[in-house]
Amino acid sequence: MGKNNLTPSQLTAFFLASMVAPALINLSALFFAAMGRGSWIGILAISVASLFLLLLFYAIIKKAGFPSVHMVWQELLGNRLGKAVCFLLSLYLLFLATIVLRSFIYAINVYYLPHTPMVIVAALLILPPIAIAYFGARSMGHASQFIYFFILIFFAFLIIAKKNYQVSSIFPLLEADPQIIVKNLLPLCFTSCTLFGCFYLFPLTTNRKRIPHSIFAYSVIGVFVLLASYCIGLAYFGDIFSKMSLPFYHIDTTHKGRILERLDILYMMIVLPLFGLYLSFWFSQLIESQRQIFPTFAEQHNGWITVIWALAVVVLSVYPSLDHGIWPIYSMSNTINLIAAGILSISYLIYILKRRRKFS
């Protein structure tokens, strides 16, 4: 098995890495701020719709013969134009990695290291993704499987603080405005990462008949984690949950125990690896796309390519000022991810038709 291959179980973990990190940090609070007590409906609606879309994209990619994105565009537009389009997609992957790293830096600067220069924090945070991307997608698959351990530990910490929960705060469940829910589905589409990333990851997966099982496992675990974090946050904070930028950090800060007296420190020890896996989800796909576009050069200079793109991520995540915060960019990226996924699905369909005519 090559270093750029994923097993179906690693694919599940890879997908979860892109969703569980924001879910356990502040995604559930964003849902409550946007949709109120109808957030659980929005979460379920997005999860079900994404499940069907992932299965549809799998069927399309399977029908095409599991070609890479680079192969599809090269077939449709020729060698040079195909590489140009794939390079533009690589720049978009760079943008996604950048906004993820920027959100990391914000959390650390605000809550832990307010006087440390952002560039130093960014340089330290990018080191694990560099190592993972350098050794290929399979190494990312192995690293992502730690996500299950982090989920268990995270909820164990939250269970410790259970005496402060007010379950009545979760109700009423049906107090929701359908128009508000529908309006915020696209900006809060937390599965847009996998809907876009699946076109890069499905062709790298071995034992492809089990990919649908990976999709179902990802959907079930993902929706459980997000719904659980939403219910716990609402039970602890009540209506002020919507105003919390890092809610579960505050839960662990306010809890004082005899043995585990500083849960906030332990919380950050769990969150940092989750952040790293989330960043690696995009950064490893960025480096893999370069290997496909420039195979000979990438094979000879794999280390330099990884380092140069990492420097680009660090610089772009630190120096542009964000006057309106990271949330508008995050919501915009979710919408763009869905548009990009739609464009890629159409390109695969055209590829199928072109190949069928070619061999008929």
- Highest mean pLDDT among 66-75, 148-157, 158-167 belongs to 66-75
Lowest mean pLDDT among 76-90, 106-120, 122-136, 165-179: 165-179
pLDDT(77) > 80? yes
| pLDDT score of 2 | 42
CA–CA dist 120, 105 (Å, integer):
10
Residue 6 has pLDDT above 90, yes or no: no
- Phi/psi for 270 (5° steps) reads -85, -40
- Dist. CA 132–CA 312, nearest whole Å: 17
Instruction: Please give the DSSP secondary-structure letter assigned to residue 177.
Output: -
**Res 193: pLDDT:** 87
Identify which of 278, 260, 321 has the alpha carbon closest to the alpha carbon of residue 26: 278
Q: What pLDDT was estimated at residue 247? A: 74
Continuous H helices in 65-166 = 69-77, 79-111, 118-134, 137-144, 147-160
The predicted pLDDT at position 327 comes to: 65
Residue with the bigger pLDDT between 215 and 186: it is 215
- CA–CA gap between residue 319 and residue 313 (Å, rounded): 11
Residue 187 pLDDT: 81
Kindly state the average pLDDT of the residues 8-34. 83
Question: Mean pLDDT in the chain?
Answer: 84
Q: Give the best-scoring range by mean pLDDT among 168-182, 225-239, 244-258, 278-292.
A: 278-292
Using pLDDT thresholds of 50, 70 and 90, give the confidence band for residue 17: confident
**Is-contact 303 134, C-beta < 8 A?**
yes
Which amino acid belongs to residue 81?
L
Quick one: pLDDT band at residue 108, thresholds 50, 70, 90? Answer: confident
Q: What is the pLDDT of residue 65?
A: 93
Beta strands in 170-285 (DSSP E): none
Measuring CA to CA, which residue among 90, 56, 41, 129 is closest to residue 310? 129
* Percent of the chain with pLDDT strictly greater than 70: 89
- The mean pLDDT of 47-65, rounded to a whole number, is 95
Position 1 pLDDT exceeds 50: no
76 in Cβ contact with 89 (< 8 Å): no
pLDDT of the residue at 4: 57
For residues 220, 222, 228, 229, the Cα torsion angle rounded to the nearest 10 degrees is: 180
Q: Which residues contact 283 (CB under 8 A, 6 or more apart)?
A: 97, 126, 129, 130, 132, 133, 309, 310, 313
Structure tokens at 175: 């107090």
Q: Tell me, what's the pLDDT at 89?
A: 93
Please state which of the ranges 149-158, 257-266, 272-281, 285-294 shows the lowest mean pLDDT. 257-266
Assess whether pLDDT exceeds 80 at residue 281: yes
Distance CA 343, CA 349 (A): 10
Domains and CATH numbers, the chain: 8-359 (1.20.1740.10)
pLDDT above 60 (res 257) = no
Q: At 345, list the tokens.
A: 């699905």
